[in-house]
């Protein structure tokens, strides 16, 4: 019988019987490709799923009143920063997808946590990109030596399931999902149908047998997980490993988490012996800050429940052409353009004829309004060529009329500012009276950006 042809969207995974130039589900152009429908074996199951079903048996439906409501079982991974992003630790029977650019440190992170996990659990590390000898060399460099760690170099899904059935591990690590293939399908490894089928088999394995599964996935040039977006819908947790390969710091973010918050970050530093946790990212982000340099200001943002101090740098120069250039790195471009317009209209600075550049030091991405005031002060400092005092921090949201609005968790931010030794903090005026400033920290109230700029750029006595 001739296999039926289906069309898939490489951006969202939507299936359609006909080709289209634009995906009807996500609206992306030129992303629909042709793939043959998976060929099923006798009995209607693919080999990978058949192995899972044979291992866990036939499942029966039961009344909802008979189900137990015990909380999920969490266990530490041995790295506090990873536990923070996961919501307090890994959950038994969960499927976690770890994505990132090649060489960013995904495999290093997964192999490092095996050192702690193997103390209480049996771990099976499946690699489709490295041989057992290469895994041994990397484990020796990372000082991961434990008899509970089993490694195998395998790319066939059916053989992987047989290894899981034979070893009965508590934790399974797959590196990477793009290298796995189901031999019952005609498509090559890494294709849409292969990625979907293999991920579904791993999800059934995690939910059916209670095995915690970590899956590594590469990202494409747009920065999203390679393959269809359906991967992110199927797994329980999606973690993104970010950072510049030319720097030593890495940031781990949660884009999806069914067992915790998605606004936490973990900070690591890549060293010779693997990834080291950075427990105080504020000191890391502020290290090497220049003294009395125009165009720089510090703000405090909340990453989950953790206050983090970040440095915003700005450069405003006279434009050589008719169309001034606007560039932002780590700061929303549209919000930066809005702040420039407010700075000119309400602040009285003619920045419309200047090129403006915004940069967040350390690879951090600021996406909350609390960083507005610091960005405006940094832009004004660069335009006026007047340095901001090194012991000053600015926190607040800027409105279109130039007024300063309050932000959430302001007391926690001020406590972190005081802990790191700053002496002055510009805050919205209507919150200054309700805040209790720690000893040694002076709160500077400001009603609008004009007052904030004058207070921040005023020369110290």
- Helices (runs of H) and strands (runs of E) counted in the chain: 13, 23
Of residues 35 and 228, the one with the higher pLDDT is 35
- What is the distance between the alpha carbons of residues 410 and 416, in angstroms, rounded to a whole number? 10
The model's confidence at residue 265, banded by pLDDT at 50, 70 and 90, is confident
Q: What would the two tokens of residue 358 be? A: 């915004």
**Residue matched to tokens 């800050």:** 289
How many CB atoms are located within 10 Å of the residue 186 CB? 15
pLDDT at residue 7 greater than cutoff 50: yes
pLDDT at residue 96 greater than cutoff 90: yes
- For residue 63, cis peptide bond before it (omega within 30 degrees of 0): no
CB 213 within 8 A of CB 172: yes
How many CB atoms are located within 10 Å of the residue 293 CB? 13
**Residue matched to tokens 């999902």:** 177
| Overall average pLDDT of the 267-285 stretch | 89
Please list, in sequence order, all residues whose beta carbon lies within 8 angstroms of the beta carbon of residue 267, skipping any fewer than 6 positions away.
81, 249, 250, 251, 252, 277, 278, 281, 284
Average pLDDT, the chain: 87
pLDDT at residue 251 greater than cutoff 70: yes
Phi and psi, residue 443, nearest 5°: -85, 130
Q: Give the side-chain half-sphere CA count within 13 A for 266.
A: 26
Angle of CA points 233, 235, 237, to nearest 5°: 105
103 φψ region: left (φ > 0), alpha (ψ -120 to 50), beta (else): left
Give the model's pLDDT for residue 11.
72
212: enclosing H helix or E strand: strand 212-218
CB 100 within 8 A of CB 106: yes
Calculate the CA 218 to chain-centre distance: 13
Give the model's pLDDT for residue 3.
55
Give the model's pLDDT for residue 42.
47
pTM score of the predicted model: 0.76
The interaxial angle of helices 372-384 and 449-456, nearest 10 deg, is 60
Please spell the DSSP secondary structure of 325-385, one letter per residue: -EEEESB-HHHHHHHHHHHHHTT----TTEEEEEEEGGG--B-SGGGHHHHHHHHHHHHHT
315 φψ region: left (φ > 0), alpha (ψ -120 to 50), beta (else): beta
% of the chain at pLDDT higher than 70: 90
Angle of CA points 401, 405, 408, to nearest 5°: 155
pLDDT, one tens digit per residue, over 333-385 is 999 999 999 999 999 999 999 999 999 988 788 989 999 999 999 999 999 99
Give the model's pLDDT for residue 223.
55
| Overall average pLDDT of the 77-83 stretch | 93
- What is the distance between the alpha carbons of residues 434 and 50, in angstroms, rounded to a whole number? 63
Q: What would the two tokens of residue 1 be? A: 């019988």
Q: What would the two tokens of residue 119 be? A: 């103390």
pLDDT at residue 37 greater than cutoff 70: no
Return the top range by mean pLDDT from 171-175, 222-226, 302-306. 171-175
pLDDT at residue 44 greater than cutoff 80: no
pLDDT at residue 53 greater than cutoff 60: no
Radius of gyration over every alpha carbon of the chain, rounded to an integer in angstroms: 26
The three-state secondary structure class of 246 is coil
- What is the distance between the alpha carbons of residues 242 and 223, in angstroms, rounded to a whole number? 10
| Overall average pLDDT of the 256-275 stretch | 88
Give the model's pLDDT for residue 362.
80
pLDDT, one tens digit per residue, over 182-197 is 988 887 888 777 888 8
């Amino acid at each position: 019988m001739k296999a039926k042809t289906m069309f898939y969207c490489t951006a969202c995974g939507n299936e359609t019987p006909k080709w289209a130039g634009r995906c009807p589900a996500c609206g992306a152009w030129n992303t629909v490709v042709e793939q043959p429908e998976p060929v099923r074996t006798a009995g209607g199951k693919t080999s990978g799923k058949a192995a899972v079903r044979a291992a866990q048996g036939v499942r029966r439906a039961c009344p909802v009143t008979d189900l137990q409501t015990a909380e999920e079982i969490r266990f530490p991974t041995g790295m506090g920063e990873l536990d923070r992003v996961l919501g307090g630790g890994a959950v038994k029977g969960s499927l976690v997808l770890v994505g990132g650019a090649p060489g960013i440190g995904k495999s290093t992170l997964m192999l490092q946590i095996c050192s702690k996990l193997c103390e209480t659990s049996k771990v099976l590390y499946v690699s489709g990109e490295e041989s057992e000898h290469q895994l041994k060399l990397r484990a020796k460099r990372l000082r991961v030596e434990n008899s509970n760690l089993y490694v195998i170099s395998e790319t066939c899904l059916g053989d992987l399931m047989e290894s899981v059935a034979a070893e009965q591990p508590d934790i399974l690590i797959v590196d990477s999902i793009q290298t796995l293939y189901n031999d019952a399908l005609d498509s090559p490894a890494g294709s849409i149908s292969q990625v979907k089928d293999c991920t579904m088999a791993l999800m059934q394995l995690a939910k059916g047998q209670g095995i915690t599964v970590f899956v590594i996935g590469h990202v494409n040039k747009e920065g999203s997980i390679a393959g269809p977006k359906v991967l992110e819908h199927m797994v329980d947790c999606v973690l993104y490993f970010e950072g510049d390969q030319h720097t030593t710091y890495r940031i781990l973010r949660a884009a999806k988490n069914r067992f915790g918050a998605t606004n936490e970050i973990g900070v690591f530093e890549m060293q010779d012996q693997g990834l080291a946790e950075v427990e105080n990212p504020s000191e890391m982000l502020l290290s090497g800050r220049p003294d009395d340099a125009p165009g720089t200001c510090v703000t405090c943002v909340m990453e989950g429940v953790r206050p983090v101090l970040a440095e915003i740098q700005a450069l405003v120069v006279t434009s050589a052409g008719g169309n001034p250039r606007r560039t932002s790195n780590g700061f929303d471009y549209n919000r930066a353009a809005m702040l420039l317009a407010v700075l000119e209209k309400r602040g009285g600075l003619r920045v419309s004829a200047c090129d403006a550049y915004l940069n967040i030091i350390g690879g951090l991405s600021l996406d909350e309004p609390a960083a507005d005031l610091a960005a405006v002060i940094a832009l004004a400092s660069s335009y006026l060529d007047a340095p901001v005092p090194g012991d000053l921090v600015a926190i607040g949201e800027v409105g279109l009329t130039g007024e300063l609005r309050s932000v959430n968790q302001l007391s926690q931010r001020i406590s972190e500012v005081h802990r790191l030794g700053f002496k002055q903090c510009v805050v919205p005026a209507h919150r200054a009276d309700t805040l209790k400033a720690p000893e040694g920290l002076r709160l500077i109230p400001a009603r609008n950006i004009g007052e904030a700029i004058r207070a921040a750029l005023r020369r110290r006595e």
